[in-house]
Amino acid sequence: MAGRSLETLSFDNTYARLPETFSVKQNPTPVASAPYLIHVNRTAAELIDLDPEESVRPEFAGVFGGRMLVPGMEPIAMLYSGHQFGVYVPQLGDGRAILLGEAVNHRGERWDLHLKGGGMTPFSRDGDGRAVLRSTIREYLCCAAMRGLGIPTTQALCLVGNDDKVYREQVETGAMLVRMAPSHVRFGTFEIFYYRKQHEHLTVLADYVIGHHYPHLVGVTDAYARFFNEVVERTAALIAQWQAVGWAHGVMNTDNMSILGLTLDYGPFGFMDEYDSGFICNHSDHNGRYAFNQQPYIGLWNLSCLAQALLPLAGKDALKAGLDRYQELYQQQYLRLMRAKLGLREARPEDDGLVREWLGLLEESHADYTIAFRDLSSFSSVEGTANDRVRDHAVNREHFDEWAARYRERLRAENSRDDERCEQMNRVNPKYVLRNYLAQIAIEKAQQKDFSEIDRLFTLLQDPFKDYPGMDSYAAAPPNWGKHLSVSCSS
């Protein structure tokens, strides 16, 4: 099918037709300087039937840089609330993002086009509604990284720069990003109507989400409880995937939790370099509430907040039964992923211990999480093999040798073939991740109007499991200056 032009995109703005309480009509506020295209995601463009070649037109940067609209767009700012660092905030909402419209492709799939950095909205509180180049680059690249890893995520259509100055901790260059997702409804969207005691709006919202995103539940008995059960399943699976790749979200507030189980709102995220189970990627998280090893628990805590909000619609016992499934669902998914990372085909009772001991080895050695797992694919199950490449990741060689003996025995128990296992492990253990220092290099170059590093990283991250000739330096551990970079909520 031939791609559409900007002017012929198909829109059906269902969320904008919900009662006025759900959102506020809000056009983007144009920036003073001329917007310019930094990068376009051709794959994302094709999801909405948009011809990627449209990006060469100046109108492209105009539309997605907040200066103009195309027919069918009905911009709104969405209302929601949420628990932030465990404290309920009665009203949040889109403070620096505007839902331009819902693009519909030829398969009938809907994609929200959410402009981040489009100016103030009634929900901006004391903010300016703008985004900076630094944060938009990080989100743009991490969306690509997560998609390449097979982790459910919002996607980014394009990155548009401007020469306006925006103040965060310091004066920075402005930019805008178009985020795409089938829906931007959050746990906090349900919470606000529960705490306002607007149960009629809660019903409208639940029926809307089920009708558009869980249509198999329409008309089903106990549809609301079953809907909650499916959100539990998606959330447990999502967080298990985060843990398996060594990724921390950094700010898992309930307003940052997608009702579809997508990774949403990239702020102070981080892929771990040296393995640290208590890794805190957000320097604003002084108490470590959102530390890496707390994410599975926080997922459950956030789901309990959603369950509370659904009490007017579903029975308490049914909702509690859904919550009670979370831990087992998470653990099953996490162990399945970790078995694959270790090259194990079968599920056995000792696997949890084998995984924990390997992670303990990495932690006591300050080993690089991504590199150590990638190198583990070279492990030989032949008795007497030193496996120096893997062994070198351990500071306690005796400890490693004890683990290696158990690992070798486990591999032999399922008749593992080293060559086949190596190939399988390299399909699930990435060679490339978006390390903070790599993103920082791209940011610093982009601030000088050199966008080549964004393009290079975007290419690598789309398929992070393959070998790219001449790109091994991007798979290396960070240099000293690039370790433990500080990332804040304004990121």
Pick from 264, 269, 299, 301: which is nearest to 283 by CA?
A: 269
pTM score, whole prediction: 0.96
Residue 127: the pLDDT is: 82
* Polymer length in residues for the chain: 491
Query: From CA 320, how far away is CA 188, in angstroms rounded?
Result: 19
Report how far apart, in Å, the C-alpha atoms of 330 and of each of 8, 251, 267, 308, 425 are.
43, 20, 24, 21, 21
Q: Tokens for 127?
A: 């903010």
Q: Which residues are catalytic?
A: 255
Per-residue pLDDT tens digits for 134-188: 999 999 999 999 999 999 999 999 999 999 999 887 899 999 999 999 999 999 9
Average pLDDT, the chain: 96
Per-residue pLDDT tens digits for 187-212: 999 999 999 999 999 999 999 999 99
Q: Is the pLDDT of residue 490 over 60?
A: no
Query: From CA 178, how far away is CA 455, in angstroms rounded?
Result: 17
Per-residue pLDDT tens digits for 25-84: 999 999 999 999 999 999 999 999 999 999 999 999 999 999 999 999 999 999 999 999
Per-residue pLDDT tens digits for 445-456: 999 999 999 999
Gyration radius of the chain's alpha carbons: 23
Q: Is the pLDDT of residue 488 over 80?
A: no
DSSP H helical ranges for 246-350 = 295-309, 316-324, 326-342
